[in-house]
Structure 1
């Protein structure tokens, strides 16, 4: 509805013309479309640009709401929050007032706090509306994943219907439905990626049936994937009384591929420390160009550098990071990063240059492979194993004092 609530300037409506008639015998009539039109390549930009202009014009009157439109919006969705109910009430009122200045009316409200929604008309809420049934909690799709407002957590939901015949086409179609934008289940998705690679290496055509071995492996994967529905990932990752906030990134590689993962570590006034998974990404090792494990690990280091850059850009608008750490169990990669690029071979030099020229310097440290969480995503895990895999969700050693971290004076590097 946001498109239809965005009016186009009268001088530009001549570019939005349609022909219409009530019946085949009636004369054709030319109409100008007065609002932003669905289907035009420019329409999404116009809508988003309109909201940003509205935020800029009304910033002095509604500073909190303007910040939400600029930083916490995705097309026509606003995903934001506050540290207390009082702050949330103020933010809600500001958002309603700011949007009203542009002729917009917010709909599909949802919150983990029912008190916040009491004065919102029922027809303006995002269904389902019931919050009081813990046995059957409502889940609402939010940018491709499921949000449970009762538990204030994210979940996944996959439903693969039985296929009459398994072919490369049907398998790829099903894998494409596994949507994991933040990489929280990267170890499971990695196994799916590796299976795709084996399908290509098998030489099957698009509609040829899978052999018995591949078919059995796929059916076991689909059956195990049902366990992902049991996952519940807390939405809140930042305590209100945080005194220290740092990013911790890890990367690793195997013969099958490489991966990187980033965590947020926070300490509070009470001394409590928490570690939360933020984002991860994995890639399958190329087939045509066989790379050594150290070379794949170096590609993992580049991937981690890009992830840290992305996360830092997103977080720096709302929090101040005290430090950024990058961890690896590869001493070869650490040695390459320490070496001036002009002394390295072309492959290593190009990637080391990308790492050391990052806009956000990171402290590089060695970590034993047994406590490197990115190992999970570079080798793959079954869904049932991932559910309670503490090393993946929150490495326990990171919650300890930095004095107990596996940091030696000889392996610290800052770039």
Structure 2
């Protein structure tokens, strides 16, 4: 051992996978790469900045030629920062075009299903769908004991950020709220009649495998810009909102595309039905604000639809009503 020798100095030139700061460092480097590529490839840089989640890029354009050019530009920008795209997946054949900087990129074609940010995407049909895991809807058996913990675990197993299954999941949320009201413990076995209700609900969950939604928000043939239609309503148990795009096709025909939906259970502290309907209106306004910020399509008009009776609440008569309504009008 040469104790009097000057120590050698080694330095890592890449981020070590598994280090705690590695995800943050990778994202910072990615944003910096997009910033540096803005001058030569502004659209590709915008996609990298806005349409990327961790290590997945998810974006869309109107034509195949635009898609081919955009993928090449993204490859060029990312290669400038030392990033490499593993593969491109598209609902249309991009003719195998890749940039000179990334000739080894694989163009994935003829693939039936692919996960896109947790949602199953059928590449051939260009549709979103569900794949409910078998353990999410187990059959009742002699050894099966239903508890609040197991039920919540199965409900949480359904990933639905857009709200495709909002109408179904709200039934499960209402059921969970009832268990809370009854004071049921986490590992306490549920009564037979309650367990039977949950068994039927989880059996219904199987039908989610047959539910599909078109990925594209625009039909193949349309005339002009669409109308954005936002619905909201409430009951004594829950309230929610959903958003659709209504396209004119010509010859007095129309096409409607689902955009997003949200639902929420009513609070345990009971509210009047008109106030719950106002909560639904607030949810609709928030959902519209989020969609307006993210959606790049131009719309001709925005129409909010709700129970006409609660609209009159926006003109309060008493001081107490003024305090409540001012909050909702502010939203």
TM-score range, shorter chain: 0.7 to 0.9
Task: Name 2:323's counterpart in structure 1.
Answer: 346
Output one character per residue of 1:127-169: Cα deviation in whole Å (capped at 9) or x when no partner.
xx662xxxxx721111111011011111001124237321111
2:122 maps to 1:148: yes
Task: Name 1:262's counterpart in structure 2.
Answer: 243
2:224 maps to 1:250: no
Query: 8 Å contact 1:111–1:117 — kept in the other structure?
Result: no
Output one character per residue of 1:151-192: Cα deviation in whole Å (capped at 9) or x when no partner.
111100112423732111111111100111011111100011
Distance 1:248 1:117 in 2: 39
In structure 2, do the counterparts of structure 1 residues 102 and 123 end up closer, same or farther at CA, with 3 Å as the change threshold?
closer
1:348 deviation in Å?
A: 2.7
Task: Name 1:139's counterpart in structure 2.
Answer: 113
Task: Name 1:321's counterpart in structure 2.
Answer: 299
Gaps of 5+ in 1: 1-28, 132-136, 355-415
Query: 8 Å contact 1:247–1:323 — kept in the other structure?
Result: yes
1:284 deviation in Å?
A: 0.5
Task: Name 2:50's counterpart in structure 1.
Answer: 71
- Per mean C-alpha deviation after superposition, the further-off stretch among 56-65 and 218-227 is 56-65
1:109 deviation in Å?
A: 1.9
Report matched runs for 1:297-316 at 5 Å.
297-315=277-295
Task: Name 1:238's counterpart in structure 2.
Answer: 218
2:317 maps to 1:336: no
1:238 deviation in Å?
A: 2.0
Alignment TM-score, normalising by the size of structure 2:
0.85
Distance 1:118 1:96 in 2: 11
Question: What is the number of equivalent residue pairs in this alignment?
Answer: 315
Query: 8 Å contact 1:341–1:352 — kept in the other structure?
Result: no
Output one character per residue of 1:357-391: Cα deviation in whole Å (capped at 9) or x when no partner.
xxxxxxxxxxxxxxxxxxxxxxxxxxxxxxxxxxx
Q: What is the RMSD of the two structures over their aligned residues, measured on CA atoms?
A: 2.8
Query: 8 Å contact 1:160–1:174 — kept in the other structure?
Result: no
Output one character per residue of 1:101-141: Cα deviation in whole Å (capped at 9) or x when no partner.
11111013211123444769998548xx662xxxxx72111
Alignment TM-score, normalising by the size of structure 1:
0.69
SS of residue paired to 1:199: helix
SS of residue paired to 2:278: helix
Distance 1:233 1:294 in 2: 32
Q: 2:204 aligns with which of 208, 224, 231?
A: 224
Q: Which runs of 4+ in 1 moved over 6 A?
A: 118-123, 340-343
